Amino acid sequence: MFDKIKLVIADDHEIFRDGLALMLSKQKNIELVGQAGNGRELVELVEALKPDLILTDIKMPLMDGVEATRILLEKNAGEKIIALSMFDEENLVVDMLESGARGYLLKNADKQEILEAIRTVFENGNYYCRRTTARLASMIVKSKFNPHNKNKPAAFSEREKEIIKYICQQHTAQQMADKLFLSKRTVEGYRTKILEKMDVKNTAGVVIYALKHHLISEAEC
């Protein structure tokens, strides 16, 4: 039997925090061990409770998520943090990633995506919100955030590079199959293999990885 993921959440909006806490408390593999209303409370809670993972808002009173993330990672470089953001906080998302957060979610992400992000980061991965805008992807690529630099870049065949380009252009599996004269099932197999090689979970992750490693240009997205 696996141990539960011990989680702390932080958000200054109590109604949002209560709703998130209610959803998380119903998950068999998650134990919500603490809640904070600002960054200062978050730092104190994490020091006291030693959670496996932290889910935190960015904009908070007394101390924001960016400063709290920096402080927490200075104390423990292995801290796993996911940022919660609004649509108009792209600069702050980049600040969070550069400060050491392992991923980010929009506050209106659905339950499945929140749980996928928690599992991915808990397992030492990085998570990019499914609805990452082209502007934010470009900002992340140009930032100091580069989680893939620890590993040797994956090698891709010419066919895989073609499919990577189409994925970045938001083509469906059927559209790619038609363009490449392949079956939809074959394209889906290529896509699964590409995500595994990149160690990402969705299209946003493919775009950021491909841009970081010059597999595509911004003009091709």
Domain segments of the chain as ranges = 5-131, 149-220
pLDDT in tens, 53-90: 999 999 999 999 999 999 999 999 999 999 999 877 88
SS3 34: strand
Which CATH number applies to 149-220: 3.40.50.620, 1.10.10.10, 2.10.69.10, 3.30.930.10?
1.10.10.10
Q: At what angle do helices 173-180 and 184-198 cross, to 10 degrees?
A: 110
- pLDDT band at residue 145 using 50, 70 and 90 as cut-offs: confident
**pLDDT average, residue stretch 107-123:** 95
Asked if residue 1 has pLDDT above 50, the reply is: no
Model pTM above 0.95: no
Asked if residue 46 has pLDDT above 70, the reply is: yes
pLDDT in tens, 181-191: 999 999 999 99
Tokens of 52: 């496996």
Asked if residue 221 has pLDDT above 80, the reply is: no
- For residues 122 and 162, give the distance between their C-alpha atoms in angstroms, rounded to a whole number: 32
Is there a contact between 11 and 57 (Cβ–Cβ < 8 Å)? yes
- For residues 149 and 70, give the distance between their C-alpha atoms in angstroms, rounded to a whole number: 20
Is there a contact between 60 and 35 (Cβ–Cβ < 8 Å)? no
Asked if residue 148 has pLDDT above 80, the reply is: no
pLDDT at residue 163 in the model:
97
> Cα 141 to the chain's mean position, in Å?
14
In the numeric block, the tokens 């919100």 are attached to: 129
Same fold, 5-131 and 149-220: no
Contact partners, residue 32, CB within 8 Å, separation at least 6: 7, 8, 9, 21, 24, 25
Specify the fold of 5-131: Rossmann fold (3.40.50)
- For residues 85 and 131, give the distance between their C-alpha atoms in angstroms, rounded to a whole number: 12
